[in-house]
Amino acid sequence: MVGERYRLCERLAAGGVGEVWRAEDTALDRTVAVKMLRPEHAESEEYRERLRLEARHLAALSHPRLAEVYDYGDGREDQRPYLVMELIDGEPLSAVLARARTLPPRRVVEIVAQAAEGLACVHAAALVHRDMKPANLLIRPDGSVKITDFGIARGPETLRLTRTGEVIGTPLYLAPEQAAGYGVTPAGDLYSLGVIAWECLAGRPPFQSDDVLAVAIAHRDRPVPLLPDSVPEPVRALVEALTAKDPAARPDAVAVAEWARRLRDDPAVAAAPPGPVLAVEEEPSPAGDTAEVPASPHRRALLLGVGAVAAAALTGASGWALRSPSAVRSARAQTGGAPSARPRRTVTVDPTDYYGHRLDSVVKALQRLGLRVSVRHQVVPGRSSGTVVGLTPSGEMAVGTTVTVYAARTLTTPSAPHRTTRAASRTGGSAEPTRTVVHRPAPPGKAKAKAGEPKGKAKGKRRKHGKD
């Protein structure tokens, strides 16, 4: 029994910190899920506080895409702290992917739409989930989606639980700003959702390696690889927008839900079959050394504590740390190890110095450093065409190394007619608006700018003719 009310029946999942049980609510005669701390962690004030905050966060939210909380016990009277929740009949998306590997694009955008609806409710309550991943999305038999596990969700009252420089999350789905040690915002949840969508379409996460540090650094510095051409272009555009390196370039949860619902009704998306599983490309260790990760001075003491969650609705306990170069050198001195040889002529590139700048200026700056530059373009809605959104490799490298710069490009989408049609219907006008183009001749005696020529240049010519 948990307290005098809940009878534990079957353990459903267990992790390093907690466990989830199917239980009977003897007072209301219903089946529930009980999440409780493991005995060895039941006395930890930090874990007890996290469970209490999870209960408060869930109690403050009410949405069909979120698991409902019923009760909470603080663990007094020799009881372990526990959280009583809605028992969801379904399986984690991670289990679905383990069986099917890839999903049809229409099913993927449906999952994205529902998850974004839930995140919109979470973000409206000034909360950030911080651990969006397939294991935390439960798929019910009717296809509906439920977001679970708010054990590391962040709200104003959780600031004291996160140590300076600590980042919590799962490396495979970690947002770039989380990997860099910056503050966590709702945009981080949307990046993780984009990575989930990428995995559903490609059959694997975008970055994989036995070294979790290399995966996190890849998310920080490298654009997510392009999806195959078999994925419809509108779906690829949505995923690329969600996984933009710049948090400001990502659409918010409300916009994502609307975007994904439109794609769900697109005939081309509905007809697309599941794609093949992409071959795994092992991520190289950053800068050729998994321990020494070049970083800007204000991040050299960064400590990344990444808590991995073992199962849906369950807080995990595993973690890993990224040590600064100075700490690594100190450890090598203690063990008698010698640092690896470095090329004589090297330069150091911090990709954050170039994000958001114009492509031509970035190319010139890198060439002045003695580097070769290769340019690739990606569709990033919300970013001006020609704006740099990614750069790889980064860190210390030899002069003459080829650096790939990723720049945003514009994608023509049919979204504008949707907005115009809605506006027309509200005013009682036609559902198909008519556009009239009027060509007016230039006034006599005034020079006309050549096609494609900036207006300022044309004005300059007119002043010159006037002097003649």
Pairing of strands 402-409, 372-379: parallel
| Positions of CATH 3.30.10.20 in the chain | 341-409
Closest to 193 (Cα-Cα) out of 150, 149, 269, 136:
136
Most confident of 10-24, 252-266, 312-326, 412-426: 252-266
Interval 426-437 mean pLDDT: 40
pLDDT digits (tens, 9 = 90+) for 303-342: 333 333 223 333 333 333 333 333 333 333 444 444 444 4
Instruction: Give the Cα separation of 135 and 367 in Å (integer).
Output: 44
pLDDT digits (tens, 9 = 90+) for 159-193: 334 443 444 568 899 999 988 877 678 999 999 99
Q: Fold for domain 341-409? A: Trypsin Inhibitor V; Chain A (3.30.10)
| AA letter at 91 | E
Grouping H, G, I as helix, E, B as strand and the rest as coil, residue 16 is coil
Q: pTM here?
A: 0.63
CB 23 within 8 A of CB 34: yes
Average pLDDT value over all residues in the chain = 75
Instruction: Give the Cα separation of 230 and 296 in Å (integer).
Output: 39
Most confident of 179-188, 348-357, 374-383: 179-188
Instruction: Give the Cα separation of 415 and 393 in Å (integer).
Output: 35
The answer, yes or no, to whether the previous bond of 393 is cis (omega within 30 of 0) is: yes
Closest to 131 (Cα-Cα) out of 45, 15, 34:
15
Residue 85 pLDDT > 80: yes
| Positions of CATH 3.30.200.20 in the chain | 6-85
Residues in contact with 282: Cβ distance below 8 Å, sequence separation at least 6, in sequence order: 208, 209
Instruction: Give the Cα separation of 354 and 157 in Å (integer).
Output: 35
DSSP code, position 352: G
Give residue 147's pLDDT band: very low, low, confident or very high (50, 70, 90). Answer: very high
DSSP for 92-156, please give it.
EHHHHHHHHSS--HHHHHHHHHHHHHHHHHHHHTT-B----SGGGEEEPTTS-EEE---TT-B-G
pLDDT digits (tens, 9 = 90+) for 269-310: 999 999 999 886 544 444 333 333 333 333 333 333 333 322
49 vs 445: which has the higher pLDDT: 49
Instruction: Give the Cα separation of 135 and 122 in Å (integer).
Output: 18
Beta strands in 153-293 (DSSP E): none
Q: Say what the pLDDT of residue 101 is.
A: 95
Q: Fold for domain 6-85? A: Phosphorylase Kinase; domain 1 (3.30.200)
Range 91-279+294-333 classified under CATH 1.10.510.10: yes
Q: Say what the pLDDT of residue 77 is.
A: 64
| Positions of CATH 1.10.510.10 in the chain | 91-279+294-333
Rg (CA), the chain: 26
Instruction: Give the Cα separation of 185 and 205 in Å (integer).
Output: 22
Structure-token pair, residue 397: 């490298």
Interval 138-157 mean pLDDT: 81
Pairing of strands 91-92, 137-139: antiparallel
Residues in contact with 337: Cβ distance below 8 Å, sequence separation at least 6, in sequence order: 331
Positions annotated as catalytic residues are 131
Structure-token pair, residue 292: 């020494």
